[in-house]
Chain A
C-alpha cells in the first residue's frame, strides 16, 4: 500500500527551531508538498520539493532525499502563530493522485 508517516505531535518553544519529518512509501513519486492548517481553517500550501535538496521560503525550509524516501519541514524562529497542523503529501503514480500524511500537530509554548 501507499503511506506517509509523520509524527502526530511535536512541541517546541517560541523562538526555537523545529523539524517535522515525513517518510513515504508510494508507487511512483512526483514530488513532496507541505501544507499548514490552523484549527478551523483550510490547509494552505507551504512548499514543494521535486528534487533532492533544500528549498527555503522565509522562516520555512523543506528538504527531500528521494533515495531515502524522506523529507522534512524546518521551521525557524518559531512564533505562536505557527501553532497548527502540518501535512506532508506526495504525488504518486496513479493519475498523479495526492497522497496525504495524517498530519503533525505543532504545539508552541511561550
Chain B
C-alpha cells in the first residue's frame, strides 16, 4: 500500500509569487491535514479536509488556502509569498475525521528568497 505522497519535495520561490503543493493520501483515507514546520518548531496546524470540505482551520492568514478533490487528493496554495513562509509543509492522512493515527508524507521543503 503506497504511503502519503507529497509533491514537489523541494521548491524555491521568490517573494511575492504563489505556490501550490500537492498531497495524495493513502488509498481509502478521506481526511487530509496540512502542517507547517519551521526549524526547531513543532507542527503548526494549517487546515484539515474531509470529504472535500474544510473541517478545521488553524491561525494562518488568508494567503494560505487549500482544497480537497473527490478522490481525497488535496492541494494547498500560498499566495504572495513572504520570506517567513520558508518551511517544511507536511501533509497527513487519516482514514476518517477524528482517527487516532495520522500518516505523514515526507513533506515539501519550501524556500522563499
Query: Is B55 part of the binding interface, using a Cβ–Cβ cutoff of 8 Å?
Result: yes
Q: Are the C-beta atoms of A100 and B45 separated by less than 8 Å? A: yes
B90 near A42 (CB under 8 angstroms)?
yes
The interface on chain B, measured as residues whose beta carbon lies within 8 A of the other chain's beta carbons, has a size of 20
Q: Are A100 and B90 neighbours in the complex by a CB distance under 8 Å?
A: no
Which residues of chain A are near B104, meaning CB under 8 Å? 42-44
Which secondary structure characterizes the binding site on chain B? loop
Give CA–CA (A45, B100) in the complex, Å.
Answer: 9
Chain A facing B: main interface SS: mixed
Residue of A at shortest CB range from B105?
A: A42
Interface bits B48-69 vs A (CB < 8 Å: 1, else 0): 1000000110000000000000
Inter-chain contact count A-B, CB under 8 Å? 52
Partner of B56, one of A31, A97, A102: A97
CB atoms of A33 and B90 under 8 A apart: no
Q: How large is the interface on A (under 10, 10 to 19, 20 to 34, 35 or more residues)?
A: 20 to 34
Kindly state whether residue B12 has any CB partner on chain A within 8 Å.
Answer: no
Task: For the complex, give the distance between the alpha carbons of A91 and B41 in Å.
Answer: 20
Bound form: Cα–Cα A91–B105 in Å = 20
- Of A33, A44, A102, the contact of B41 (CB 8 Å cutoff): A102
Asked if A45 contacts B101 (CB within 8 A), the reply is: yes
